[in-house]
Structure 1
Amino acid sequence: MFKEMHDLFRWAWLIPALPFLSFLLIAFVTKRSKGLSSTVSILAILTALGLAVAIGLGIIQSGAEIVEHPVIVSANWLNIGGLKINFGTIVDPLSAMMLFVVTLVASMVQIYSLGYMHGDKGWSRYYAYQSLFASSMLGMVIATNLLQLFIFWELVGLCSYLLIGFWYFKVSAREAAKKAFITTRVGDFGLLLGILFLYNKFGTLDFTALSAALSTSLQNVAVVGTAGYVTVMAFLIFMGPMGKSGQFPLHVWLPDAMEGPTPVSALIHAATMVVAGVYLVAKMYFLFQASPAALQFVAGIGAFTALFAATIAIAQDDIKRILAYSTLSQLGYMIFALGVGSYSGSMFHLMTHAFFKALMFLGAGSVIHAMHEKQNIWDMGGLWKKMPITGWTFFIGVLAISGIPPFAGFWSKDELLANALQNGHPIVYAVGLFTAFLTAFYMSRLFFVAFMGPEKPENHPHESPWTMTIPLIVLATFSTIGGLAALPSHNFAFFIHFGEFEPEGMNWGLAGISVIAGLLGMGLAYYIYIKKAISSESIVARFPVPYKILKNKYYIDELYLWIIHNIMDGLAKVLYFFDIYIIDGIINGIALLTRGSAKGLRRMSTGQLQTYAMVFFFAVVVIFMVFAFGEGQFSSLNPLAMLGGVK
């Protein structure tokens, strides 16, 4: 069976190639025809989805053999001296899962955009960017080496810049695009250093070869001192995911990315840019496993980000920003799961999160579309009756992210929480459990206020067109049953596994505790915002300082601006004055001295024969007088006398 699937896997390159081809066609051929541009883009991504499904089914049928023997197809791209770089494709369970998730979400987003972006002047440009974005992420997923991955990694960053700033006539959109691009570049600089250090140490960037070389080096750790070097490289590599996946303190760009069209937010937050960092850590997991210190750091950053973002979300009022901080928190879950050794739990949660987060962002877009661009949840209310499809599907997303069975989030979140406790990380488990309570609370708060709150008479919402509701139904279906795929009885579990496959059953005791935490969070939100047993205004009035801190996101953005304006700008001024008055002063002083000396010497060199003859004549006269009257008043001028010589 595996040999029969091998030929299919060799065609994986078509999956990123098809949307890239659609990008070229839209950019150079169909850009003047809106209908043709969207048709080309959607057909390309749907065809890619079909290929991804076929490869995924092939992975399932191949069973454990594909885990041990991934299919790699590559060709030499660069060969200079000792540097040899291949470009190709790798098909293994992890890449197959990512291919399916990215193409599914991208397909739903592009179909949804037919309704949401209707009438937009940049229609063709929008679909061209969408195609390039999907192609870049898919190219990154099947990369066989770090250099190839880094090229597509940077293309993903470029596409996020283009799409976040899609409405470039808005100042806020332009600034958000620049903020995202610059912030992620900070992390990418560390990633690039890590790639260079890896090549310097092991002489290869190929994932398979790196894994083998690292294993060999660690066996001689006492001789070559590899352990410390590996830790440094792991930290540098992790800087890239910290930026792309919005981990503290490089998280500040992600909430502002909401300035782009809502379908863009769904694509960025669910299946492309932000999960690229998680995917990279998973792809390089052999490196992190070799450094316990690096894994501890990853777990700590992930747990802190999960809790940090969740606390901010409970005080936000913009529907998209609540979802943005929810994404940050869920990314923290995925990162700390990798840090505590729950590789399968992290990848499983990446997959299920893509389903329900894309669902909720598109649901939010449906609400914004119906509310004529209003985004504050307190301006909404009564949407459940007016928008039943959007309401029911959004509620499924809330149940999934809250970890309520049998929805997808229950299976993935409980697996990574259980692994955190069982692998000896009780503090991380406690943080994750409390974050699960907060997640259920703030997501239920959003739903109860926007959909079940009092209807506003000035609003006249209506259900979205079928182009927007069909993707909601599809994603709601996956958010409902998607978690069942990883049950031990299914070969689907190969999708999210690392190393030797050993199916494990659910720890129902720990699962029950996390479900109770989710129900308590939902119950508290219902008690405050539906039953009105406690006034939310009274809570704010009683705790004004904590509320203000959370509302203003711990003033991290303000702190960064203060550092930029006072420390960085101040240092720049000091360096400027040092350059002008010290460096330039010395250089200009030498130049002035040289120029002054030249002016003096120039006066002595007139170029006139008469002047030279007169100078020569007077010189001869002076010398004659010195020698002729050496005994007299000129004796002091006699050079021989001064030297004590013969008179």
Structure 2
Amino acid sequence: VYLVIRANAIFALAPEVSGFIVCLGAFVAVFAASMALVHNDLKKIIAYSTLSQLGYMFVAAGLGAYWIALFHLATHAFFKALLFLGAGNVMHAMKDDLNIQNMGGLYKFMRPTAILMCIGSLALCGFYPFAGFFSKDKILEAAWSADAYFIWALLFAGAAMTTFYSIRLIMLVFFGKQKFTHHPHEAKGFALIAMSVLAVPAAIAGFFEHDFAEFVLSILPGFKASIPHGVEVILIALTLAMISAVAIGTIWTYGKGKFSQNLKNCKFYKILIAQYFIPQIYERVIVRGYAKLSEICAKCDGAIIDASVDLIARIAVKGGEGADRASNSGDLSANLRWMVLGSFILLILAFAL
């Protein structure tokens, strides 16, 4: 993302490439978020979220809103790092078990971590006044301003999915029924201090939007969404209403344990939980193919390269043995002939050099 932003002068000369970046970014934003909806690995959910948010940044960069892309990159760094550190705390407390379906009820054991991860999740969802609200909303405004309504709709849907998987993670990890038998422990104080340092900008960094813009616009080209103020307010209100409704629905559903088991029989659910079968395709096509190629290369290496080296070594050994037998035959006349020949060769080399 930073490379695209920094090389903005080059991309400005290739609008077709910038358009492709917009489409690719919107696709990644929705594609990665969709896999996070049903995944049960704590750190993979956050990792898919990172890919999704990178998609948002690429959309902004492709639309020419370079400072907005950089602003979301900066704010995202705070709350996503906060979430990853929190995931590490949970991982240690759960004895390296990352399956969120095996957790629940951790709030009473890890209240500081839970509160700090809630701050990170609210910022990721884009709730006011957290940092994600300011930066993500700017990207949606940029898409609307560029008349890229389909891209805006994809990002809007991505925001809904982000809210769902973020709140789902919090509910399954820290609330609901306890699904473990051991006694978890809170992280060390230095880990909580590090998280607290990140929680502050995750909560308030958005208020420095204008200072940030003034700082980077001395280098980056300016961009301002050309939409009426009334439309801007409506878009913001619409986004906030949507993520609020999704958050409330998710909290109620998982709080009451009413997540339908029938969904697990849904074909689309199976596709999502299988991550669109990408790992299986990667395993069968690339990993197994590479393994077969490696076996062929190993056989060629043994049959050609190793055999050639061994042949040279055998010739050298046999030659040495033959020379040794010839020079140590016990025949004094033969030894003198070899001595004279060797001296003659040395003299020739001496004069030649």
Q: TM-score, normalised by structure 2?
A: 0.77
State the match for 2:209 in structure 1: 486
Q: Distance in 1 between matches of 2:299 and 2:93?
A: 56
Q: Deviations over 1:542-586 (max 9, x none)?
A: x1x2222111111112223333367677889999999xxxxxxxx
- The within-5 A match list for 1:187-198 is none
- The within-5 A match list for 1:87-98 is none
State the match for 1:530 in structure 2: 255
Q: How high is the sequence identity, in percent, across the aligned residues?
A: 38
State the match for 1:351 in structure 2: 74
Counterpart of 1:401 in 2: which secondary structure?
Answer: helix
Residue 464 of structure 1, aligned match among 165, 183, 187: 187
State the match for 1:312 in structure 2: 35
Change (3 A) 1:496 1:521: farther
One-letter amino acid matched to 1:564: I
- The within-5 A match list for 1:356-375 is 356-375=79-98
Indicate whether 1:560 and 2:282 are aligned.
Answer: yes
Change (3 A) 1:379 1:301: same
Change (3 A) 1:576 1:428: same
Residue 516 of structure 1, aligned match among 236, 241, 249: 241
State the match for 1:378 in structure 2: 101
One-letter amino acid matched to 1:424: D
Q: TM-score, normalised by structure 1?
A: 0.43
Change (3 A) 1:310 1:332: same
RMSD after superposition: 2.8
Q: Distance in 1 between matches of 2:295 and 2:178?
A: 56
Change (3 A) 1:566 1:397: closer
Q: Structure 2: which 5+ runs fail to align?
A: 301-353
Q: Is the 8 A contact 1:437 1:520 kept in 2?
A: no
Aligned-pair distance for 1:295?
A: 0.5
Q: Is the 8 A contact 2:104 2:174 kept in 1?
A: yes
Aligned-pair distance for 1:517?
A: 2.4
Counterpart of 2:177 in 1: which secondary structure?
Answer: coil
Q: Is the 8 A contact 2:71 2:212 kept in 1?
A: no
Residue 60 of structure 2, aligned match among 337, 356, 360: 337
Relative CO higher for 1 or 2, CA cutoff 8 Å, sep ≥ 6? 2
Q: Is the 8 A contact 1:307 1:435 kept in 2?
A: yes
Q: Deviations over 1:409-447 (max 9, x none)?
A: 000000011101111211111110000000000110000
Change (3 A) 1:574 1:340: same
Q: Is the 8 A contact 2:100 2:169 kept in 1?
A: yes
One-letter amino acid matched to 1:349: H
Counterpart of 1:463 in 2: which secondary structure?
Answer: coil
| Aligned residues between the structures | 300
Residue 431 of structure 1, aligned match among 150, 154, 158: 154
One-letter amino acid matched to 1:559: I
Q: Deviations over 1:29-57 (max 9, x none)?
A: xxxxxxxxxxxxxxxxxxxxxxxxxxxxx
Q: Structure 1: which 5+ runs fail to align?
A: 1-277, 579-647
Q: Is the 8 A contact 2:66 2:221 kept in 1?
A: no
State the match for 1:400 in structure 2: 123
Q: Distance in 1 between matches of 2:32 and 2:145?
A: 25
Q: Deviations over 1:135-155 (max 9, x none)?
A: xxxxxxxxxxxxxxxxxxxxx
